[in-house]
Structure 1
Amino acid sequence: MALMPARDIYHNAVTHALVKAGWQITYDPFRLQWGTKDMYVDLGAEELVAAEQQGQKIAVEIKSFIGPSEIEDLRNALGQFILYRTILEATEPERMLYLAIRDATYFAIFEEPVGQLLVQQQHLRLIVFSPDQEEVVQ
């Protein structure tokens, strides 16, 4: 059994932002297993919709990008995203993986050419949140 990972410093802010945006947190954390390996995505959530409709299911990996190198943080986040997305596609293809990042990180990295290229080429799905307002910005 894998050790539970430490929570990201923005875990609660993202949880509150998702709930405000109409999501129900169904897993905290969301466990992935492949073979003998256990991994944990930060959150699993379902969209709150009318009972007769099927809500969208997502998994959310939260990244703070507070290390000394933005590029190293980006490399680590991207590697983790690709690993988790690959396993999710094989185990729960209806659940979409999102990377949750602060609005400041979005502007510093993902509005730059390198970030735009990664979003496009790696099909990154982003949840951009305001840590102060605890709201989803986009």
Structure 2
Amino acid sequence: MAAKDLFHQAVKNALQKEQWIITSDPLKIEVGGTKFEIDLGAEKILAAERNNEKIAVEIKTFLSDSPVTDYHAALGQFLNYRLALELSEPERTLYLAIPVIVHQSFFQREFAQLSVERYQIKRLIYNPIEEVIVQWIN
């Protein structure tokens, strides 16, 4: 099993505060002979539609000296996980969980904005101290 990110529990708690049910920790899938472990799988019952919304969340801390290097690694991982989910669980939406401070700094740069738009990266912005989700970006 891969090591959990520093803010793993904070994001998990934040999702639970928003009434998400954590169904997998980690979410394990196998596609084309390759095994993947996405940090969290969760679902939420939408009462009005009497349906379930399913998500997968890959949590990143971006704590190294280079947010660009962290983003390169996160982007590659995210794209591979999204493809694996499309093949195995197409009803599940993948989100990249990003700390609010990183979102306010690195992800406001023009390049980062162009990149997340080009690659259609859905983001969950979280506050690791308060253990809350600040914003969902589709």
Q: TM-score range by the shorter chain?
A: over 0.9
The counterpart of 2:16, out of the listed 10, 15, 19, is 19
Query: With structure 2 as the length reference, what TM-score do the two structures score?
Result: 0.93
- 1:91 corresponds to: 88
* Residues 45 and 51 in structure 2, CA contact (< 8 A), matched pair in contact too: no
Look up the SS of the partner of 1:38 in the other structure. strand
Deviates more, 1:36-45 or 1:75-84: 36-45
The CA deviation string for residues 95-135 of structure 1, in whole angstroms up to 9 with x for no partner, is 00000010001011211111211121000000000011100
The counterpart of 1:47, out of the listed 37, 44, 48, is 44
Query: With structure 1 as the length reference, what TM-score do the two structures score?
Result: 0.93
Cα RMSD of the aligned pairs, angstroms, is 1.3
Structure 2 unaligned blocks of 5 or more: none
Following the alignment from structure 1 to structure 2, what is the Cα–Cα distance between the partners of residues 52 and 68? 45
Give 1:90 shift. 1.0
Sequence identity of aligned pairs in percent?
44
Give 1:52 shift. 6.7
Task: Work out whether 1:6 is the aligned partner of 2:23.
Answer: no
Structure 1 unaligned blocks of 5 or more: none
Q: Which runs of 4+ in 1 moved over 4 A?
A: none
- 2:25 corresponds to: 28
Task: Work out whether 1:57 is the aligned partner of 2:49.
Answer: no
Following the alignment from structure 2 to structure 1, what is the Cα–Cα distance between the partners of residues 111 and 29? 29
Following the alignment from structure 2 to structure 1, what is the Cα–Cα distance between the partners of residues 121 and 11? 18
